[in-house]
Structure 1
Amino acid sequence: MENYFWNTEVPSIKKKIYILVIYDIVDNKRRGAFAKKMNGYGFRVQKSAFEAMITESLYKQLLLDIPRLIDPVLDTVRVYKIRGTGEVKLFGTSPKIEEEEVIII
């Protein structure tokens, strides 16, 4: 088991945000190009997941880069911005999420 902690609210000149990027890219060439681009932002934590601690300006640049790297009809990319209340950015396709009654015993 691995545990690690971070604090995005530490006072500094440039506040950093923690992001988690997960993706499902169908084409091998696009997937390779996407992973190579993500290596410039953070580090791979699973085959289709990257984590990064980046500045707000790099975050905005990432959001501009993603649509150029994927096929919006076939691919899915989710960017979780984890700071304060959190945020999720979705690019490409997404499965329809239906509400289900959940019972926990």
Structure 2
Amino acid sequence: MENWSENHNDFIDYERDEKNKKIHILIIYDISENKTRTKLVKFLLGYGYRVQKSAFEAIVTKSQLKKIIKNISNYLDEENDSIRIYRMYYDDVIIFGKNFSIEDEEIIII
């Protein structure tokens, strides 16, 4: 697997984020093992909110995003699992049904 933290700085440093220094991301996953999936959920709860069964949204700093990218492979069996991180702009999201509001707030990781 390629090293995302070194090879995808353009993903982290995209110019549209320079105004507010925060990046809105969507992380979706398909993890086959229950134990691994539970660990991934606990990890992601330190950064954002679970908006669907296999989806998290978060508003993070560049350093937090780098940390997520660096550590996310610890929760992945490359043969069977999939994790995707999408950059989003909240004003570009259309929501149908139950709305889970994401706020820009400080989250303390313990």
- Normalising by structure 2, report the TM-score: 0.62
Which consecutive unaligned segments of at least 5 residues does structure 2 have? 1-15, 90-110
Deviation at 1:82, TM superposition (A): 2.3
User: What residue in structure 2 maps to residue 90 of structure 1?
Assistant: none
Deviation at 1:70, TM superposition (A): 1.2
Decide which structure has the larger Cα Rg and report it. Answer: 1
- SS of the counterpart of 1:45? strand
Larger strand share, 1 or 2: 1
Paired with 1:20 and 1:11, the residues of 2 have a C-alpha distance of 20
User: What residue in structure 1 maps to residue 34 of structure 2?
Assistant: 28
User: What residue in structure 1 maps to residue 108 of structure 2?
Assistant: none
The residue type paired with residue 27 of structure 1 is E
- Count how many residue pairs are aligned between Structure 1 and Structure 2: 74
The residue type paired with residue 41 of structure 2 is A
Relative contact order, higher structure (CA 8 A, sep 6+): 2
Deviations 1:62-88 (A, max 9, x none): 0011111111111100100225xxxxx
Paired with 2:82 and 2:18, the residues of 1 have a C-alpha distance of 32
1:16 to 6, 10, 22: 22
User: What residue in structure 1 maps to residue 45 of structure 2?
Assistant: 39
Larger helix share, 1 or 2: 2
User: What residue in structure 2 maps to residue 4 of structure 1?
Assistant: none
Deviation at 1:48, TM superposition (A): 0.3
- SS of the counterpart of 2:25? strand
**Structure 1 residue ranges, 4+ long, deviating more than 3 angstroms after superposition:** 8-12
User: What residue in structure 2 maps to residue 78 of structure 1?
Assistant: 84
The residue type paired with residue 46 of structure 1 is Q
The residue type paired with residue 72 of structure 2 is I
